[in-house]
């Protein structure tokens, strides 16, 4: 299998390497002066960390494996503090490095710990799930959760490289893989309509790592994110479009105490954002229907329970995209035509949710 390199431009450009056997590039990303490499990985999946640790050790570095809880449970101040203590005990210096191995929660945490240890050490991300490859591990956004909301504490800290070994996707549980499709489909609606056409042409194939268009879907979504992040690392403008569907999604995750998959919450959020766009007169019913159709064709949810609205609305108030008391939504003016909706009326917000909860 050939290797594809997608460059994320900016002040500190780096490559996202997609292919099989890409771990061989890891030692070369660590740079000069590195002695110790801390490998942060899910405790429940030690097997995914072994080849990474082996590649680093074979290159002559000292490896410090640091297991963390699986999933969103890893993204807490307590877990981060434990990692800082471990880095101190093992003598990790500013010239050393951190490697994040696993899904999006692990790469978010590893990036945050790297950003905050000694005011910033280099980090390499090795995502092993579809969601992490196409979204979480790319872009330099790092963060942890608090009881008040998701990713409210974080930092912008670009990695020195991202290695996406497509072979690891074969072992990803089907529901987790399908959940990752939500972020790919989001990319189609906000920037690259070819993604939507590929999914519509073969929904069953989109749901498996062996699908005819799987690699193209992954690379197209990574390219969407690379283009946006390269132009706006710190989310001062363009990068906000990547939040399409996420305001409601993050609120759902909080209501569910993170027991729902991120991609499943995003899928519901995409329908909500489309309904909001339609009710505000920006798009027609056809775009909303297409949103539902594509998501449902791959088995993603498109509705949520009606009685949850008061709780969801409360959590949306502390969404990190809000400004003061005003909510900001990314909405569609058409396929791949994105704009912002500032401080929408409560009646509009509730009416849009009524369409999601029907």
Instruction: Give the β-pairing of 337-342 and 328-334.
Output: antiparallel
Active site residue 239: yes
Active site residue 183: yes
Instruction: Report residue 150: phi and psi, to 5°.
Output: -90, 135
Active site residue 320: no
Cα gap 104→348, rounded to integer Å: 32
Residue 4 pairs with which residues in a beta bridge? 18
Exactly one of 122, 250, 261, 278 is catalytic; which is it?
250
Instruction: Report residue 34: phi and psi, to 5°.
Output: -75, 130
Cα 287 to its chain centre, rounded Å, is: 24
Q: Which residues are annotated as a binding site?
A: 70-75, 104-108, 128-129, 141, 150, 183, 246, 262
Neighbours of 284 (CB within 10 A): 12
Cα gap 278→304, rounded to integer Å: 19
Give which of 4, 1, 3, 103 is closest to 48, Cα–Cα: 103
Exactly one of 122, 157, 186, 243 is catalytic; which is it?
243
Exactly one of 145, 235, 253, 278 is catalytic; which is it?
235
- Confirm if 252 and 312 have CB atoms less than 8 A apart: yes
Give which of 237, 277, 272, 236 is closest to 251, Cα–Cα: 272
Residue 155 pairs with which residues in a beta bridge? 142
Number of H helices, E strands in the chain: 14, 11
Exactly one of 261, 262, 278, 315 is catalytic; which is it?
262
Rg (C-alpha) for the chain, rounded Å, is 20
Q: Which residues are annotated as a binding site for NAD(+)?
A: 70-75, 104-108, 128-129, 141, 150
The H-or-E segment that residue 188 falls in is helix 174-190
Exactly one of 122, 246, 278, 292 is catalytic; which is it?
246
Exactly one of 41, 157, 225, 315 is catalytic; which is it?
225
- Confirm if 192 and 186 have CB atoms less than 8 A apart: no
Active site residue 5: no
Active site residue 12: no
Active site residue 221: no
Exactly one of 41, 157, 239, 292 is catalytic; which is it?
239
Active site residue 141: yes
Cα gap 358→355, rounded to integer Å: 5
Q: Which residues are annotated as a binding site for Zn(2+)?
A: 183, 246, 262
Write the DSSP string, 60-90: T-EEEEEEE-SGGGG-SHHHHHHHHHHHHHT
What single DSSP character describes residue 134? I
Exactly one of 41, 122, 141, 157 is catalytic; which is it?
141
Active site residue 243: yes
Neighbours of 86 (CB within 10 A): 15
Catalytic site residues? Answer: 119, 141, 183, 225, 235, 239, 243, 246, 250, 262
């Amino acid at each position: 299998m050939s290797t594809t390199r997608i460059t994320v431009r900016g002040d500190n450009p780096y490559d996202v390497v997609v292919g099989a056997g890409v771990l061989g590039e890891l030692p070369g990303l660590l740079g000069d002066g590195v002695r110790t490499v801390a490998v942060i990985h899910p405790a429940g999946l030690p097997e995914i960390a072994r080849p990474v640790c082996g590649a680093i050790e074979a290159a002559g570095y000292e490896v410090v494996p640091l297991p963390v809880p699986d999933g969103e449970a890893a993204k807490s101040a307590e877990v981060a503090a434990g990692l800082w203590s471990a880095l101190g005990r093992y003598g990790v210096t500013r010239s050393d490095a951190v490697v994040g191995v696993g899904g999006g929660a692990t790469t978010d945490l590893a990036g945050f710990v790297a950003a905050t240890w000694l005011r910033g050490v280099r980090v390499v991300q090795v995502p092993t799930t579809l969601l992490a490859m196409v979204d979480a591990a790319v872009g330099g956004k790092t963060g942890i959760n608090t009881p008040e909301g998701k990713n409210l504490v974080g930092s912008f800290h670009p990695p020195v490289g991202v290695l996406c070994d497509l072979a690891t996707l074969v072992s990803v549980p089907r529901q987790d893989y399908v959940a990752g499709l939500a972020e790919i489909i989001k990319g189609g609606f906000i920037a690259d309509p070819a993604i939507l056409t590929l999914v519509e042409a073969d929904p069953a194939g989109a749901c498996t790592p062996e699908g005819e268009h799987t690699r193209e879907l992954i690379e197209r979504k990574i390219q969407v994110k690379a283009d946006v992040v390269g132009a706006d690392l710190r989310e001062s403008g363009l990068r906000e479009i990547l939040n399409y569907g996420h305001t409601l999604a993050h609120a759902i995750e909080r209501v569910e105490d993170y027991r729902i998959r991120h991609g499943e919450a995003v899928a519901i959020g995409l329908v909500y954002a489309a309904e909001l766009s339609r009710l505000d007169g920006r798009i027609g019913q056809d775009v909303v229907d297409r949103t539902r159709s594509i998501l449902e064709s791959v088995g993603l949810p498109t509705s949520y329970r009606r009685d949850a609205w008061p709780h969801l609305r409360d959590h949306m108030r502390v969404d990190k995209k809000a400004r003061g008391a005003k909510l900001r939504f990314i909405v569609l003016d058409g396929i791949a035509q994105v704009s912002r909706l500032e401080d929408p009326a409560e009646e509009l917000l509730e009416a849009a949710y009524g369409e999601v909860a029907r």
